[in-house]
Amino acid sequence: MTMVGGLDERGLLEHWEAVERVAESVEGIHVLKGVEVDILKDGSLDIAGDVLARADVVVASVHYDTDMPRPRMTRRIIRALENPFVDILGHPTGRKLNERPPYNVNMDDVITAAARTGTALELNSNPKRLDLDDANCRSAREHGVKVVVATDAHSARELGFMRYGINQARRGWLEKGDVLNTATYRGLAKALRKKVRAA
Ligand SMILES: [Zn+2]
């Protein structure tokens, strides 16, 4: 997974070519090409669709202009969910515990839109985030929305954050079948292809 920090589209394509070379040389492990893209102010993305079409998995997240009023922020995020290339909404409320509150966003509407568009929601396991929270995990499950428990690791050590995400998922009553990244590779690949096919 690549976070877009100054990686332009050409750099991203070159990176994915390198990933493809690795994928071919490693036996028995599927290496996916992925990216986290920014959701811009109007709900569009900062990477073009023809580039995203070449990714195996696309996470879209809000990182800037986070102080929008509730109806606009909700529309912004829902527009990103409606993008056929977006597989997962990253850290859906943007909260950072003891640092900043969640975005002013209607999560009921976001979860309903995730169900309608077949988009998964991230449960970010970073102990500062734990985003989705437990109640939103439960709501996602009730709406048939898949959750991805991710570490957002910026170093190998942070892969251990996974345990906090799993605890949070359990608090939200999630079971294996609710969590997309417990699937087999075939199951995951099928789920990731479904949305573009439907569009
Ligand atoms: Zn992010």
CATH number at residue 148: 3.20.20.140
CA of 124 to the centre of ligand 1 (A): 9
CA of 4 to the centre of ligand 1 (A): 9
Of 112, 114, 115, 134, the closest CA to residue 123 belongs to: 134
User: In this predicted model, what pLDDT tens digit does every residue of 109-168 receive, in sequence order?
Assistant: 999 999 999 999 999 999 999 999 999 999 999 999 999 999 999 999 999 999 999 999
pTM for the predicted model, two decimal places: 0.94
User: In this predicted model, what pLDDT tens digit does every residue of 24-34 receive, in sequence order?
Assistant: 999 999 999 99
CA of 123 to the centre of ligand 1 (A): 12
Domain that holds residue 67: 35-198
CA of 27 to the centre of ligand 1 (A): 30
Domain annotation covers residue 112: yes
User: In this predicted model, what pLDDT tens digit does every residue of 56-83 receive, in sequence order?
Assistant: 999 999 999 999 999 999 999 999 999 9
Q: What is the mean pLDDT of residues 163-188?
A: 96
CA of 179 to the centre of ligand 1 (A): 19
Distance CA 110, CA 54 (A): 26
- Per-residue CA distances from 46 to 7, 63, 105, 110 (Å): 11, 11, 21, 20
pLDDT classification of 7: cutoffs 50, 70, 90: low
Report how many domains make up the chain: 1
Domain annotation covers residue 190: yes
Instruction: Dig out the tokens for 114 from the structure.
Output: 């995730």
